[in-house]
């Protein structure tokens, strides 16, 4: 069972996609306190049920659905239905995938469909709700990989870059309307995605620790929640380098197996 987070609870109804494992599962546990309502979606129904049971044991009310985030109509209907049950306060667009070394045509399209279209399909219905009620918070899960394209994962990096830049723009556009937007850029976090990697992952962090950082950042209405800071600094330096140097350095980085 995941350890309870100690960050302050400031939201009553939290909707999280990709909640059946990794950061999504840890965030569900972080927000599972008496009085909170969690609306959770994921692709693995059995794992999602286990997450829900753990969150209910902590005192939260939990509703789950096995749903494909690329289904625009189904996502809009689910988000609207959950808001009609109880007004949403926070929506976290977390669902995402990595294809490992397989970034063939089909895999690349799948990465963009889930990592980008899935985020859009989550955020747009939430925006309609939050703009009409003049308050609400949205968090988009991007990645430190969004700051520089890496040869072993170009589609993953690009999809996360689109999420980050879109979220940063939304934050500026929506602030006057009372809608808060945070973009989350984690480094390596223990999950089913990182479990398959055999290469060295610097500053690898537990999902529980990552969730605590994200929860605190959202509560403080931080626009960009990027961590861990040593890896963040290294990535920013890489992104700021002239392309010839950055490209040469990127080519010698550890490759996925």
What domains does the chain contain, in order, with CATH numbers?
13-251 (3.40.50.720)
Residue 231 pLDDT > 60: yes
Percentage, residues of the chain above pLDDT 90: 72
Residue 3 pLDDT > 70: no
**R_g over Cα of the chain:** 18
Which of 109-113, 123-127, 164-168, 235-239 shows the lowest mean pLDDT across its residues? Answer: 235-239
User: 62 forms bridges with which residues in the sheet?
Assistant: 38
Alpha helices in 22-153 (DSSP H): 22-31, 45-57, 72-85, 105-112, 118-133
Residue 160: burial class (beta carbons within 10 Å; 0-12, 13-18, 19+):
buried
Over residues 66-91, the mean pLDDT reads 98
Q: Which helix (H) or strand (E) holds 209?
A: helix 207-219
Active site residue 200: no
pTM of the model: 0.88
Contact 225, 165 (CB under 8 A): no
Catalytic residue among 31, 130, 156, 188, which?
156
Q: For residues 95 and 7, what is the distance between their CA atoms, to the nearest angstrom?
A: 23
Assign 2 a pLDDT band (cuts: 50, 70, 90): very low
> Would you state the pLDDT for residue 255?
52
Tell me how far CA of residue 95 lies from CA of 18, 156, 182, 245, in angstroms.
4, 13, 16, 33
Q: For residues 239 and 253, what is the distance between their CA atoms, to the nearest angstrom?
A: 14
> Would you state the pLDDT for residue 72?
98
Residue 257 pLDDT > 90: no
Per-residue pLDDT tens for 7-57? Answer: 344 799 999 999 999 999 999 999 999 999 999 999 999 999 999 999 999
* Matching residue, tokens 């859009």: 120
Over residues 190-206, the mean pLDDT reads 66
Residue 174 pLDDT > 50: yes
């Amino acid at each position: 069972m995941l350890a309870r987070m100690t960050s302050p609870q400031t939201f009553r109804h939290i909707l999280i996609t990709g909640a059946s494992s990794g950061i999504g599962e840890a965030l569900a546990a972080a927000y599972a306190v008496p009085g909170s309502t969690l609306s959770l979606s994921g692709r693995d129904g059995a794992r999602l049920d286990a997450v829900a049971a753990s969150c209910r044991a902590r005192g939260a009310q939990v509703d789950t659905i096995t749903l494909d985030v690329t289904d625009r109509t189904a996502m809009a209907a689910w988000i609207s239905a959950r808001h009609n049950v109880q007004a949403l306060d926070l929506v976290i667009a977390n669902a995402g995938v990595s294809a490992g070394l397989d970034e063939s045509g089909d895999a690349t399209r799948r990465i963009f469909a889930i990592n980008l279209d899935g985020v859009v399909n989550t955020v747009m219905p939430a925006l309609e709700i939050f703009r009409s009620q003049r308050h609400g918070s949205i968090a988009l899960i991007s990645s430190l990989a969004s700051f520089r394209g890496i040869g072993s994962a170009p589609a993953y990096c690009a999809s996360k870059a689109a999420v980050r830049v879109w979220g940063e723009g939304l934050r500026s556009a929506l602030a006057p309307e009372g809608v808060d937007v945070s973009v989350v850029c984690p480094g390596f976090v223990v999950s089913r995605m990182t479990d398959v990697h055999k290469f060295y992952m610097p500053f690898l962090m537990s999902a529980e620790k990552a969730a605590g950082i994200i929860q605190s950042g959202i509560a403080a209405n931080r626009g960009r929640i990027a961590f861990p800071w040593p890896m963040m600094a290294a990535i920013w330096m890489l992104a700021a380098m002239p392309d010839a140097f950055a490209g040469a350095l990127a080519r010698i980085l550890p490759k996925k197996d």
